[in-house]
Structure 1
Amino acid sequence: MKLHIVPARTGMAWVKLGVRAFWRQPMALAALFFMTMAAMSLATMIPLVGPAIALALLPSATLAMMVAAAQASQGRFPMPAVLLVAFRTGRERLRDMLTLGVLYAVAFLGIMGLSALLDGGQFAQVYLGGAPMTREIAENPDFQRAMWLSMLLYLPLSLLFWHAPGLVHWHGVPPVKALFFSIVACVRNFGAFLVYGLGWLGVFLLGGLVVSIVSALLAVAGLAGSMAGGIMVGAAMMMAAMFFTSVVFTFRDCFEPPYTPQQEEAPHDNQPPSHPGAPPAGPL
């Protein structure tokens, strides 16, 4: 496995590739993203351990979207079975993915625990869905400090787990090493990831502007209310699905492919889209 250092402009290419791959199979990818979110929401309903189980499923859900995006970019239709890709690639990989999930859940809950030291757990309850957000809560200085601390600590956590599911699945890297290689790749390609983040920020702002205009037009036509709310939720889900579709391209360009050009002629579920330096595995 070899780490690639890419120029900063590659970050915008990742955004474009994610959007393009999503629109190759928009219904399939949007449905898969919705099913992963629904599964995690259902998991939170399990008494006592529900939120922890939902958090532990996130690396597997991320991997499922990466594999689905790889298939879409190669001109194939991602089937619902892709959601179980982390659980059907052998006992060793399954154990490693479960370990990743446990590590993520423990780390995330640890961040929530630290934030609780500042506001008595109010931010954690709101974030995990255990309490409603009100104006009084949002304006509470302790709540704001807990929120900013959580955001600050979550950044390195997200970098640790950004590439880890792909490294475990495609390269067979042990979980702890995968976390290390993931954050190293993100730090070494800081410029590209900064542009990538700014690019997606622009996409979300533009999408929000379009939704606001559509909602205003519906209000003028007397069709506001539930219809506008549905459009906002649908647009948010679609943009989130596009974002997760783009993750596989960040992985593809940061690491040497773990397969040969001959294998690329017949790509399968266990292969990401090829690196730009290798023969293409399918149309991008």
Structure 2
Amino acid sequence: MKLRPVPAKTGLLWVRQGIATFARQPLALSGLFLLYMLALSLLSALPVIGNLLALALLPATTLGLMVATREADSGKFPMPVLLASAFRAGRDRLRAMLLLGLIYALGFMAVLGISALFDGGQFAQLYLGTSEITQEVVQGEAFQNAMWVGMLLYLPLALLFWHAPALVHWQGISPAKSLFFSLLACWQNKGALALFMLGWMAVFMVTGLLLSLLGSLLGSPDLLASLLFAAALTLAAMFFSSFYFTFRDSFSDDDGQPLA
């Protein structure tokens, strides 16, 4: 396995590839994304351990969406069972994926714990959905500080896990090595990843502005809310569809061929 450097402009290509692949199988990929969200929501609703369990399974379920995207990109119909691909890859890889998920859950909770030092846990409670926070609290200085600290601390965690589930699943790499290579690949292709995120931000913003304009012309706040909700779900599904391409282009085998 080799790291594969790509030019910064590839980030925008990843955005286009995610949208184009979604367009080939919009119903299937939308359905899988809704199943993904539903599964995590149901897990989060469990008392005491719900949020921790949902976080621990996030790498495995996200990997399922990447497998589905690969199927769609190859012209096949992605079946719902692909969402559980990480659980059907053999005992050793399942154990590695679950360990990876545990590390992610502990890391995420550590980020929230550190942010709680700045506002007494209000930002963490809002993120986990364990309490209702008023607008006054959200606009407060302590909450804002906690939010920014949480975002800054989450960035390295996100980079560590960006490619790690795919490396564990497709290459059988240990969790520790997958985290190392994920961070290394993200750093090597930081320009492309930056453009990738900026590209998606632009897509979300432009779509929101266009729908807001349409809602104003139609004079229907309820219709606007429905359109924004549907668009947000669709764009989120497209966004997750594009993850596969960031992995495929960041690594290659010894012959220079993509890993997945």
Once the two structures are TM-superposed, the CA of residue 224 in structure 1 deviates from its matched residue by 3.1
Instruction: Confirm or deny that 1:62 pairs with 2:62.
Output: yes
1:230 is aligned, of 226, 231, 248, to 226
Distance 2:217 2:38 in 1: 31
Q: Is the 8 A contact 2:19 2:238 kept in 1?
A: yes
> CA offsets per residue over residues 234-277 of structure 1, 9 Å max, x none?
1111111101100000100011159x99xxxxxxxxxxxx73xx
Note the residue ranges of structure 2 that are not aligned, 5 or more in a row. Answer: none
Note the residue ranges of structure 1 that are not aligned, 5 or more in a row. Answer: 262-273
Instruction: Confirm or deny that 1:43 pairs with 2:40.
Output: no
Once the two structures are TM-superposed, the CA of residue 218 in structure 1 deviates from its matched residue by 3.2
Q: Is the 8 A contact 2:14 2:246 kept in 1?
A: yes
Distance 1:189 1:182 in 2: 11
- Please report the TM-score for the alignment, with normalisation by the length of structure 1: 0.88
Distance 1:45 1:193 in 2: 33
> CA offsets per residue over residues 184-213 of structure 1, 9 Å max, x none?
000011111111111111111111112212
Distance 1:250 1:257 in 2: 16
Which structure shows the higher helix fraction?
Answer: 2
Q: Which residue of 2 aligns with 1:71?
A: 71
SS in 1 for 2:235: helix
What letter matches 2:56 in structure 1?
A
Distance 1:228 1:195 in 2: 29
- Please report the TM-score for the alignment, with normalisation by the length of structure 2: 0.96
Distance 1:97 1:217 in 2: 49
Q: Which residue of 2 aligns with 1:135?
A: 135
What letter matches 1:190 in structure 2?
K
Once the two structures are TM-superposed, the CA of residue 229 in structure 1 deviates from its matched residue by 2.0
Of stretches 227-236 and 138-147 in structure 1, the one that deviates more from structure 2 is 227-236
4+ residue segments displaced more than 3 Å: none
Instruction: Confirm or deny that 1:89 pairs with 2:89.
Output: yes
> CA offsets per residue over residues 22-47 of structure 1, 9 Å max, x none?
10101110110111011000001111
SS in 2 for 1:127: helix
Distance 2:151 2:121 in 1: 15
Instruction: Confirm or deny that 1:239 pairs with 2:239.
Output: no
Distance 1:211 1:125 in 2: 31
What letter matches 1:256 in structure 2?
S
Number of residue pairs the alignment of both structures matches: 260
Distance 1:257 1:68 in 2: 22
Distance 1:56 1:207 in 2: 32
Distance 1:246 1:18 in 2: 4
Distance 1:155 1:131 in 2: 25
Distance 2:218 2:157 in 1: 41
Once the two structures are TM-superposed, the CA of residue 51 in structure 1 deviates from its matched residue by 0.4
CA RMSD in angstroms comes to 1.7
What letter matches 1:205 in structure 2?
M
> CA offsets per residue over residues 157-193 of structure 1, 9 Å max, x none?
1000000010000111100110010010000111111
Of all paired residues, the percent bearing the same amino acid is: 52
SS in 1 for 2:129: coil
| Superposed counterparts of 1:158-173, under 5 Å | 158-173=158-173
Instruction: Confirm or deny that 1:212 pairs with 2:212.
Output: yes
Q: Which residue of 2 aligns with 1:268?
A: none
Q: Which residue of 1 aligns with 2:251?
A: 255
